Amino acid sequence: MGNGSGVSRGDRNRNARLARLRGLVPVSNAIVGIDLAERKQMVVVVDHDSKVLARRTFRCRAWDLGGALDWAAGHAARAGFAGVTVACEPTGHRWRVLGQLAADRAMAFVCVQPAMTAWSRRAEDLTSDKTDEKDAVLIARLTAQLRCYVPEPVDETWGRLRHLGARREHLIVGMVAQVQQMRALLECVWPAALETARQTVPLPFLGGGDASDLRA
């Protein structure tokens, strides 16, 4: 809904989000795009026009990337940038390690959704060809366009909520699987039971009606 200024509440929220991202990805910073893997890390340093300033493959694990960040900061400084912004995809657990390494060096850190990278890969050359070298540049390019986000900070509350959410999802999946298995078995050996239950006792999970059937 608009107002006298011609700017809606959604516009203001989006502007605030972009302002926050621009604070982490200022034009004075070079962008370090990293494609994370188990033992091979592709690191590129680019400017805001996606011009590659430096590229290097590091044969190490994610928690050994401190030297890679120092190497990237050195190339950015020689190119005239005041600092660097580190960007990667939030896949697995390695991005958390990288975020901590960046924080230890007072480097800004953002993430790019893997789906966004996949769409950009297709838009790049109309193929789904995936390489570490290409993905690292795409991650940096999307970051320069502010098509990234700020990951939630790691703390005790966040970790507990993540654990509870994963546990809840596991329980729901297990419950639905068991209900479907019971329904399938009854359909095979005693289909009349399902029809009878549908007429006498509401069993929404067994296909016998919906929530509106539930009565006190």
- Say if CB 84 and CB 109 are below 8 A apart: no
Task: Summarize pLDDT for 128-150 with one digit per residue, the tens.
Answer: 667 767 899 999 999 999 999 99
- Domain 9-144: give its CATH code: 3.30.420.140
For residue 97, give Cα distances in angstroms to 31, 64, 88, 130.
18, 9, 11, 24
Task: Summarize pLDDT for 14-38 with one digit per residue, the tens.
Answer: 999 999 999 999 999 999 999 999 9
Tell me the HSE value of 10 on the side-chain side, using a 13 A CA sphere.
Answer: 2
Reply yes or no on whether the pLDDT at 215 is more than 70. Answer: no
Task: Report the alpha-carbon angle 113-114-119, nearest 5.
Answer: 100
